[in-house]
Amino acid sequence: MNKLNVDCLKIIFDELETNSLYSCLLVNKEWCNIIVPILWSYSWKDISASKKKFFFNTILSCLPISSKQLLSDNNIKLPSTILLKPPLFNYISFCKSPPTIKELNDIIGMMFENEFNNETKYILEQEIFKLFVDQCKDIKVLWWDNSHPLLSFPGASTCFSQLYITYIDIDFVNSNSLEDMAQICKDLKILVIDKCCQDLPGLISLIDAQRDLEEILFYSYKDRKGTCKELGKALARKVNTIKCLCLESINIIPPSFLTLFTNLKELTISNIEEYDDTSEEIKEIKQYLAILEFPYLQKLKIWLTCYKELAMLILKIKGNIFEIGAGINNKNIKDVGMLIKSIANNCQNIEKLDIYMRHTDFIHIKLLLLNCRNLKLIVVYNVYDDDNNIGDELLDILTKFSPNSLTTIAISGKWKYSFGAFERLFESYRERNSLEFFIIDNIDNAADVTAKFIHITDNHRIIIKRYIIMGVIKLTNIPTLK
């Protein structure tokens, strides 16, 4: 057999699992030279816990002599093997992203058993970030969640010039730093802003500087209020490029600005405040949802109880939508049937649906399943149902009318389901593709992870296990009996 050239090997190795790559490292020098850059290009979340200590040791070995001396002067003792053994590669140069501050702190704690005070830990963090900024020439992702002066480190103008995705925590990044980043970074595609509650000139400059910004996502805190009018104007100046807009608080930008984003493909709006259906903010957003037009929209997630307005919006989308999420756990829920009918009649290509409803709206699910034969996933949340003995009605509708494409079902754990209804559903999938089946909930106490399984008995678990063994159920979150 002729020897494969380097390009072919790279293509093959890119498709392999991480564990396989580690074993391939030892084949020969050529393979090692190809695989090392691939391994170090992975994001930190893709590295197993068992390998992180090895990776961190290697990072420490790449620190320049000046950094190692600074650490020593501050009583940060590195392992002797790191001080003596020079690295075989410039590993850091292969990385596409520095670690997040949480990832870095987790590893520091694991390596040094939390023996540092905050001051010395900050120095260690600083030298590691300096190393990444100096050596990485092609960083694509930046998780900007720390107070280190990243842009003042040597190499910053090169390191951050090719950023594709940036997450910014406003608690740590001030307006001046954002202004400096705007001078370096011009080609962001995705920008995520956390804890933003007021206009920041630096953030506005950063948005204005981008040539082709496609996605922007805003997250916030419950206790932070404020409307960012100037920020809304900056976004409006990018309406020709922004295709995805996510607002976790309805107060971030005035709803009137939404009328400008006619090119959107994805829209998400939620409200992290305590829900008040009669508030002026909710009334205003409902008014705009009723008149908005997004002819190219493909994904729509509105986590508010405005089903009527969503039904009216969907009428104008003309069948292009593939994913919808709607509702919130609110006792004043109404017009669910109107929304589901609008989806069933106008969104035949829909593939994913997340929706909050009462059991009185189950009947509308039948029309949805009959009309939307490309549906792949359905998630149904229970909203304030006093009667929880009606889960079988939903399961029987899914059993009788689900299209062959529907392979992921997630249903509320607040309803009760009989053993027979479980078996009927799973039997209907014996001749179809394997099913992913989940019990989920809008749990009031998020810390109680078992609350969703309150009505799942040992008999339910026995049934689940049997159909897993048969290959009918491919994946589930329901713990089975051993």
Summarize pLDDT for 137-165 with one digit per residue, the tens.
878 999 999 989 999 999 999 999 999 99
Paired strand residues for 300: 267, 324
| Vertex 328: Cα angle to 298 and 360 (nearest 5) | 100
Cβ–Cβ under 8 Å, residues 138 and 162 = yes
pTM as predicted: 0.83
* Distance separating alpha carbons of residues 295 and 136, to the nearest angstrom: 41
For residue 442, pLDDT over 70 is answered with no
Query: Does residue 41 have a pLDDT over 90?
Result: no
Mean pLDDT of the 1-17 span: 58
d(CA 460, CA 414): 15
Alpha carbons within 13 A on the beta-carbon side of 376: 6
- What ranges make up the beta strands (E) of 195-315? 215-219, 244-247, 266-270, 299-303
Residue 251 pLDDT greater than 80, yes or no: no
- pLDDT of residue 31 exceeding 90, the answer is no
Alpha helices per DSSP H over 141-199: 156-159, 175-184
List, in sequence order, every residue forming a beta bridge with 154; answer none if it has no partner: none
Between 468 and 414, the more confident residue is 468
Taking all residues of the chain, what is their mean pLDDT, rounded to a whole number?
A: 84
pLDDT at position 424 over 60: yes
- Amino acid 46: pLDDT: 64
The arithmetic mean of pLDDT across residues 178-193, rounded, is: 95
Alpha carbon distance 378, 354 (integer Å): 6
In angstroms, the CA 268 to CA 304 distance is 10
**What CA–CA distance (Å, rounded) separates 99 from 141?**
10
Whether 465 shows a pLDDT value over 60: the answer reads: yes
What confidence tier does 106 reach under pLDDT thresholds 50, 70, 90?
Answer: confident
Residue 112 has pLDDT above 80, yes or no: no
pLDDT band of 220, cuts 50, 70, 90: confident
Q: How many CA atoms lie within 13 A of 470 on its CB side?
A: 18
CA distance 313 to 255: 15
At 463 the three-state DSSP class reads helix
445 pLDDT higher than 50: no
